[in-house]
Amino acid sequence: MATHMKALVDKVTIEPSLLTPLPESVAVALKRQATALQERLPLLDAELGLVYPPIDVLPVLMETPGNVGAIHARMSLKSFAGITRIAVEMFAPSLIALADNQDLLDGTLAHEFLHYVWSTLRIAQWRALGHPDVLDLSASPDYEALDENYKSLDHAAQVPVEGWLTPRLQCLMMRAEDETSDESRSLQESIVDGWVLRDLPSRPLSLRCKFNGKLAIDAGIVKRAQELGLVLTAGAIPHR
């Protein structure tokens, strides 16, 4: 029996499957993992000393150019009650496949957190300089082509790990970023078996996202940056 997903409340939301309803077994697994992620976030908040952004779970596989592997998560914008915030999108095939590897899940979340901090500080810098809120989460054509420079392009939109991630999260992020490791390959194989071969929803990856308007940003991120000595009106935001 196919099942339409319903949203969870609070920090983790499962978006409805607009392409086609998910099989009931997949929908149950997805809800179970989203609930576990919801329960995990307070522990991650405590470790970071900051609040992790909202997470939208999309019941779809993002098809990458050249089929280099599944994208597990990315930055997004989330609007609710007239307020737009920077958020994280996580894709259902990855969340389900990560059920047995909490370390890689934490590493993936840590990777996206560095993007979240960088984007937050970018908006704060624009405000400090007297500019309107503009956030362009689009990537360059080089990134969409996933050429040999994509990692450096990705890191250019992340803050350095120092002052933002604990040593544990730094290590787990490095594991999650190592696409050649046995555990990363096993994760990709699990996604293929559990999602691709079952012909579940997929769509081409889009890295185009630009916002002009008013964004709510986390003052705790700005405060931490100031404690680390960052002057928002002087120079570019540091990156990895």
- Rounded Cα distance between 124 and 128, Å, is 6
Helix (H) or strand (E) holding 35, with range, is helix 24-48
Q: Which two tokens stand for residue 138?
A: 């689009």
Q: Using only C-alpha atoms, what is the Rg of the chain?
A: 18
Exposed/middle/buried for residue 222 (C-beta within 10 Å: 0-12, 13-18, 19+): buried
pLDDT, tens digit only, all 240 positions of the chain: 444 444 444 789 999 887 788 999 999 999 999 999 999 999 999 999 999 999 999 999 987 765 567 889 998 888 777 778 899 999 999 999 999 899 999 999 999 999 999 999 988 888 888 876 666 655 555 544 554 556 777 788 899 999 999 999 999 999 999 989 999 999 999 999 999 999 999 887 765 566 656 788 999 999 999 999 998 887 788 888
pTM of the model: 0.88
What's the Cα-to-Cα distance from 147 to each of 121, 140, 154, rounded to whole Å? Answer: 27, 11, 12
Q: Which two tokens stand for residue 84?
A: 């737009």
Q: Of 170, 181, 185, 223, which is closest to residue 68 (Cα–Cα)? A: 185
